[in-house]
Amino acid sequence: MTRSLIGLSGNLERPSKTRALVQTIVATAADRFEAAGAVYDLADFGPSLGTARRVEDLAATARAALEVILSADALVVASPVYKGSYTGLFKHLIDLIDPAALQGKPVLLAATGGGDRHALVIEHQLRPLFGFFEAQTLPTGVYAADRDFAGGQPAAPALLDRLGRAIDQLSPVFARRVSPRPLELSA
């Protein structure tokens, strides 16, 4: 059975540095762990997201995207920083999720921003948000500033090194499961 790693980028526009960061993480990890990978952003949820008060209010394609995200074995979740926090529409999507839906799910947290002054958004905004859901957030978060990109893609050596350490922390999720050997009782 193929395991899945799904990315959620909290942006509306394409191209986006946030989406590029999530795509890089998902593609690298999916290749390394021989997992299925896909990336969604808020544009994939269409206009129904802004008016939805509950999951049932989402358009069928948006509900299907959310179902894929929630059924993943692990998630990569990122948001661009807006006024010191994640974006409002990203939070609105998260607000639609049942509090038990992410319980125990491994989540690699990431964010992008203009400069270093927003680097703590992962610790002060995203980690508590996913803590509420009792998700298993990985110890290493990945923050990328504008200067960490070249041609719209993650490129800074320090960023790529941190990204690699975060991906390493997904290893237990995607480790090949070996069937336990039956106990042998001695006579």
What pLDDT is attached to residue 176?
55
Can you tell me the distance from the alpha carbon of 124 to that of 113, in angstroms, rounded to the nearest whole number?
15
Angle between helices 17-33 and 157-168 (to 10 degrees): 50
Contact 170, 33 (CB under 8 A): yes
Q: What's residue 145's pLDDT?
A: 97
Architecture of domain 4-174: 3-Layer(aba) Sandwich (3.40)
pLDDT tens-digit readout, 63-102:
999 999 999 999 999 999 988 899 999 999 999 999 999 9
Tens of pLDDT along 147-183?
A: 999 999 999 999 999 999 999 999 999 985 444 445 4
Q: What is the largest CA-CA distance in the chain?
A: 69
Integer Cα distance of 127 and 132 in angstroms: 9
- pLDDT: is 181 or 132 the higher one? 132
**Predicted TM-score of the model (pTM):** 0.92
Query: Hey, what are 144's tokens?
Result: 């990328």
Closest CA to 122 of 76, 182, 153, 180: 76
Q: Could you give the CA distance from residue 12 to residue 25 in angstroms, rounded to a whole number?
A: 19
- Per-residue pLDDT tens digits for 25-59: 999 999 999 999 999 999 999 999 999 999 999 99
Are 112 and 18 in contact by the 8 Å Cβ rule? The answer is: yes
Give me the residue spans of the domains in the chain.
4-174
> Given 3-state DSSP classes, what are the helix, strand and coil percentages for the chain, each rounded to the nearest 5?
45, 20, 35
DSSP state of 154: E
